[in-house]
Structure 1
Amino acid sequence: MLLLAEAAIEDFKTIREIAYKSWPSTYGSILSKEQIDYMLDLFYSEETLLENLNQKGHRFLLVNEGEVCLGFASYEHNYLNQNCTRLHKIYLLPEAQGKGAGKLLIDAVENLAKENQSTTISLNVNKFNKAISFYKKTGFEVVSEEEILLEHGYKMEDYKMEKKL
């Protein structure tokens, strides 16, 4: 049975492990290994996760099956001071995909967004990420394209997707 839990600082190691296990299969055919390594270090350092939690208001949910954590989501209410909940991250272990864990996380974030009076959930997704079809099935629509430049000449080529609540 799949169960949700709110993550705490003590869970950052697990969150990092899931990211490091899921990114190569998610982005391996899209980004270079060097860019994947750079972005994992950038987004999942202890310092960044603490800053996201303590200063930016991000919250983390874990989805567990028994003693095993299958994935996580990171979200923020009142994104950009609007009635919007931002889904910053959602990743599952490769072997957990197709078990309903992603849908459980999306539904939980949606329920929390509604409780917070959000009218929209937004997210960014790489334009070539297979998860786009999953997001569309759960009610998200592409609203724009965005290119985000990073250091070392790396860039993120994303769709911005939204779901009206």
Structure 2
Amino acid sequence: MEIITATKEQLPIIRDLAYKIWPDTYGQILSSEQLEYMLLNFYNIPSLEEQFDNGQVFLLVKEEENFLGFAAYQINCKTEGKTKLHKIYVLPETQGKGIGKLLLQEVENRARLHGNTHLFLNVNKYNKAQEFYKSQGFVVVLEEVIDIGHGYIMDDYVMEKEL
């Protein structure tokens, strides 16, 4: 298993993984309409290209010829010294095998290499992944409600970890 830095040409792989992963991750939390709206808006190729161009680094986990998950992070996001973990997802059938932890450790290592001292993320208040983040040393630092348009919101915790 290896972690690679994704190129712009590999963004369709990220999109395809999101479409496979999100229904399992958010199917019990969001309406099918909001889920579809978010996928269409956040994971269309022009949106992913914009995220890429605005400083997000995308990572892919690859085993042989199969891609099992992805992450995206941004060094010095919003403030100097802090890295934001924008996304981290693994295929449902691979969860519990340490792939998410591997991706997280890679992001932490890259953040440290850039002199960042904190890693932060947003997680839906009802997403069971917050337990994973807590087990990895993250703590809730605030609550955030983000209007994403079309009458939808993201009701999140912001979690942070000192590196």
If the TM-score is normalised by the length of the shorter chain, which range does it land in? over 0.9
Matched residue type, 2:103: L
Partner SS, residue 141 of structure 2: strand
For structure 1, the 5+ residue unaligned runs are: none
Partner SS, residue 99 of structure 1: coil
Distance in 1, matches of 2:123 and 2:79, equals 21
Distance in 1, matches of 2:79 and 2:28, equals 36
Equivalent residue number for residue 148 of structure 2: 150
Equivalent residue number for residue 47 of structure 2: 48
* Mapped pair 1:64 → 2:58: no
Distance in 2, matches of 1:149 and 1:8, equals 30
Give the C-alpha shift of residue 10 in structure 1.
1.6
For structure 2, the 5+ residue unaligned runs are: none
Question: Identity of aligned pairs, percent?
Answer: 53
Relative to the length of structure 2, the TM-score reads 0.98
Equivalent residue number for residue 88 of structure 1: 86
Distance in 2, matches of 1:96 and 1:15, equals 16
Give the C-alpha shift of residue 15 in structure 1.
0.5
Describe how 1:80-119 pairs up with structure 2 within 5 A: 80-119=78-117
Distance in 1, matches of 2:137 and 2:111, equals 14
Equivalent residue number for residue 127 of structure 2: 129
Equivalent residue number for residue 37 of structure 2: 38
Relative to the length of structure 1, the TM-score reads 0.96
Give the C-alpha shift of residue 120 in structure 1.
0.4
Between stretches 31-40 and 6-15, larger displacement belongs to 6-15
